[in-house]
Amino acid sequence: MDIDNGKCWHNSKKDSWRTTLLLAYQSLGVVYGDLSTSPLYVYKSTFAEDIHHSETNEEIFGVLSFVFWTLTLVPLFKYVFIVLRADDNGEGGTFALYSSICRHAKVSLLPNRQIADESLSTYKLEQSPDREYNSKVRMLLEKYKFLHTALLILVLLGTCMVIGDGLLTPAISVFSAVSGLELSMSKNHHQYAVIPITCFILVCLFALQHYGTHRVGFFFAPIVLVWLVCISALGLYNIIHWNPHVYQALSPYYMLKFFKKTKSKGWMSLGGILLCITGSEAMFADLGHFSYAAIQIAFTFLVYPALILAYMGQAAYLSRNHQNADQIGFYVSVPESLRWPVLAIAILSSVVGSQAIISGTFSIINQSQSLGCFPRVKVVHTSDKIHGQIYIPEINWMLMILCIAVTIGFRDIKHMGNASGLAVMAVMLVTTCLTSLVIILCWHKPPIIALFFLLFFGSVELLYFSASLVKFREGAWLPILLALFLVTVMFVWHYATIKKYEYDLHNKVSLEWLLALGPTLGICRVPGIGLVFTDLTSGIPANFSRFVTNLPAFHRILVFVCVKFVPVPFVPPAERYLLGRVGPASLRAYRCIVRYGYRDVHQDVDSFESDLVRRLADFIPYDWCHQQANAGQGNEDHASTSGRSSGEHRLAVVGNTEFSRSLVFDVDENMQQESVSCGFQTVESIGDIIEMRDEIFDDGGAIDRPVCTELSDYLTKGTKCTLKICTTECGAFAWAQC
């Protein structure tokens, strides 16, 4: 037995490692496409204006030292070993950090928070140890409302800079790859060829977005892998052939020599050096598509060594070829016989890197909509099997137009690099600040550790950010202007969303008003199922009262539907629906709260309505059983007997088919806090009722002739659903067919 168990464990372990290595291979095309193409433009952007390559080689060795330590400190130490651990149920990115903070401290500005949401399996809340500093920081954040607003603006700023990066990365990557033609063409022909070719490639790239990355995704990883092998081999060749002692420049001593010689101009040139870490944020943002171990293995054992060899190879070539100081770039270090194949691979790699950042832009805009921070745009899911692959037509064409405008307007790598560098460093600074809060609030570490993390990595990033900010008039104005515009739009939209919710909350009508609507007032009930969409999680919305006033009729079954977003990445389908009855059973009014995470795939209208009707059919037998149990205990059905004057009854979690784990929640009037009841409805009791229903109707009504009401074909958008509600002496039953 032990031997067999050992074999099983070994096979499981082997399969696990195979899966991890496969994910590491797949991550090359999605995560590292942007980062791996940075050698195309780092040296060219750094030596564009501020500093010049001299015979002493102090400049090129200093830049190499900066590149090495920047790649080591930021992507390797900060992201791979620290930030990747700050995941939110396996998800990464700015919104993952923000949602983790919102769950551990009441800092969210969204007003529909409920304790019922904390029962979600993805609502992972670690019990905080009794530490005074933890509670003090949390209480400080929760006490002042302006800190909530400041935190949201910080998150929105990071989001807008990611969108700006999605605009600039395709332009600079493709332009840098195509600029290799300058070594094979005359200057007159070159200046008229690079821009049109770049624009043509960008148009093709954006035009193919509606097909989805899953159709061409299997090409991505091999292209990036070939590119990494290519730059590694070229770097190794240049090191051996031109300067085997270039490894000495990795010493921090050469950074001091660099600053000593170049002074302020060297500091300004840091805006080009920081481009070596462009795309590092993708390791954290795309964490949900892979795993921590896969991304760690891919970067540590393949991407990082390949990039270091590439930069060392270019530095080794330039240290022995001073006659080409005015043409510093990637392609000058490539042997002439290999330039055309390398050019082709570079263009393909730049397209892959651009594709990854464009897809990331679509994803983060979709998440912004979930937080109520972005105007509603059409989101198209391009894959039924692969989660998270989406396409937003309006954003796609806007990005294409702006990307082509940047390419034509700037026309050189220097200005593009200044703009891209500032956007990259702004995102990293936001991530550093949010991770510091996660260390205290979520990891329950002493504030001194968070402060050390903030000061160490924040100072490095702030140094690079200041160097980029100085280049405001030379291209850095673009991401700042774009961020100010987007932050304004997003914050105003979020503010208006909150005000709308508060208006609906203060103007909702009472259940007594709804109960008073009857035949004596000219109100009639028509066949069908009426869905009333509202942002409220309790009460009757004011728009329904206006509807009934103008059209004195509503459906026999009335469902108040609230679609809300919970600060978690995903809500399991079995836990998505909270259903409860509004008023007495004879009213046949129900409340359905549909909960989504910020990365959930939203259902289309038809499937959503069909699913909702099925959940309602599952809820009705449970509600009848609960009603009979209360009657047996001598309790009246009216809400006031249970202390709920609003007439709202308990909400239950409805799974896919039946109540697999029917958590029941009491409704509170203000919906800011809810108390969880201690009762659990068991699976067996619901199963007995369902079996009883089947026996009744299989027997042709031998036990009891049911009285049924069939409501069908009254859903919106042409959805064909039939909901049958039957009442017998043995019980009440409901089922749906869509």
Average pLDDT for 475-482? 91
Statement: residue 277 has pLDDT above 90: yes
How far is the CA of 514 from the CAs of 264, 523, 546, 553, in angstroms?
Answer: 73, 11, 12, 12
Rounded distance between C-alpha atoms, residue 201 and residue 636, angstroms: 71
Q: What is the pLDDT of residues 444-456, one digit of tens each?
A: 888 899 999 999 9
Task: Check residue 68 and give its pLDDT.
Answer: 96
Dihedrals φ, ψ of 432, to 5°? -65, -45
CATH homologous superfamily of 26-123+139-495 equals: Amino acid/polyamine transporter I (1.20.1740.10)
Rounded distance between C-alpha atoms, residue 267 and residue 309, angstroms: 25
Q: What is the pLDDT of residues 569-596, one digit of tens each?
A: 888 888 888 888 888 877 888 889 888 8
Residue type (1 letter), 273: I
Place 632 in a pLDDT band, splitting at 50, 70 and 90.
Answer: low
CB 537 within 8 A of CB 568: no
Residue (of 358, 352, 354, 349) closest to 398 by Cα position: 358
Which 3 state secondary structure label does DSSP give 185? coil
Query: What is the token pair recorded at 574?
Result: 């079995």
Residue type (1 letter), 486: L
More confident of the two residues 405 and 624:
405
Rounded distance between C-alpha atoms, residue 214 and residue 324, angstroms: 43
Query: What is the token pair recorded at 189?
Result: 């022909």
Task: Check residue 232 and give its pLDDT.
Answer: 96
Residue 363's Cβ-side half-sphere holds a number of Cα atoms within 13 Å equal to: 27
Burial of 236 (C-beta count, 10 Å sphere; 0-12/13-18/19+): middle
Which 3 state secondary structure label does DSSP give 88? strand
Annotated domain spans of the chain = 26-123+139-495, 509-628+704-737
Statement: residue 699 has pLDDT above 50: no
Report the DSSP beta bridge partners of residue 559. Answer: 531, 590
Place 276 in a pLDDT band, splitting at 50, 70 and 90.
Answer: very high
Average pLDDT, the chain: 78
Average pLDDT for 503-521? 73
Rounded distance between C-alpha atoms, residue 253 and residue 305, angstroms: 21
Residue (of 503, 498, 551) closest to 525 by Cα position: 551
Task: Check residue 122 and give its pLDDT.
Answer: 76
Task: Check residue 212 and give its pLDDT.
Answer: 64
* 34-43, 189-198, 567-576: range with lowest mean pLDDT: 189-198
Task: Check residue 731 and give its pLDDT.
Answer: 47
Statement: residue 491 has pLDDT above 60: yes
Dihedrals φ, ψ of 382, to 5°? -85, -5
* 135-144, 551-560, 621-630: range with lowest mean pLDDT: 621-630
Q: Which of 273-282, 360-369, 452-461, 565-574 has the highest mean pLDDT?
A: 452-461
* 118-127, 224-233, 530-539: range with lowest mean pLDDT: 118-127
Q: What is the DSSP string of 698-733?
A: HTTSSS---EEEEEES-SGGG---EEEEEE-SS-EE
- Enumerate long-range contacts of 244-250, CB under 8 Å, 24 or more apart: 244/316, 246/61, 246/64, 246/312, 246/315, 246/316, 246/319, 247/312, 248/61, 249/60, 249/61, 249/62, 249/64, 249/65, 249/68, 249/312, 249/315, 250/64, 250/65, 250/68, 250/312
* 239-243, 458-462, 476-480, 561-565: range with lowest mean pLDDT: 561-565
Question: DSSP E strands: which ranges in 404-539?
Answer: 524-533
Q: What is the pLDDT of residues 346-366, one digit of tens each?
A: 998 888 888 778 877 888 888
CB 108 within 8 A of CB 145: no
Average pLDDT for 629-636? 58
Q: What is the pLDDT of residues 644-668, one digit of tens each?
A: 434 566 777 776 544 444 454 544 4
Task: Check residue 643 and give its pLDDT.
Answer: 38
**pLDDT over 70 percentage in the chain:** 76
Rounded distance between C-alpha atoms, residue 732 and residue 190, angstroms: 79
* 327-341, 517-531, 579-593, 609-623: range with lowest mean pLDDT: 517-531
Sequence-distant (6+) residues with CB within 8 A of 357 are 34, 165, 166, 169, 170, 279, 282
Statement: residue 427 has pLDDT above 70: yes
Q: What is the pLDDT of residues 146-187, one digit of tens each?
A: 898 899 899 999 989 988 888 898 898 898 888 877 766 666
323-359 burial, b if ≥16 CB within 10 A, otherwise e?
A: eeeeebbbbbbbeeeebeebbebbbbbbbbbbbbbbb
Residue (of 383, 350, 377, 349) closest to 364 by Cα position: 377
Dihedrals φ, ψ of 708, to 5°? -115, 150
Instruction: Residue count of the chain, please give it.
Output: 738
Statement: residue 304 has pLDDT above 90: yes
CB 89 within 8 A of CB 569: yes
Q: 237: part of which helix (H) or strand (E)?
A: helix 217-242
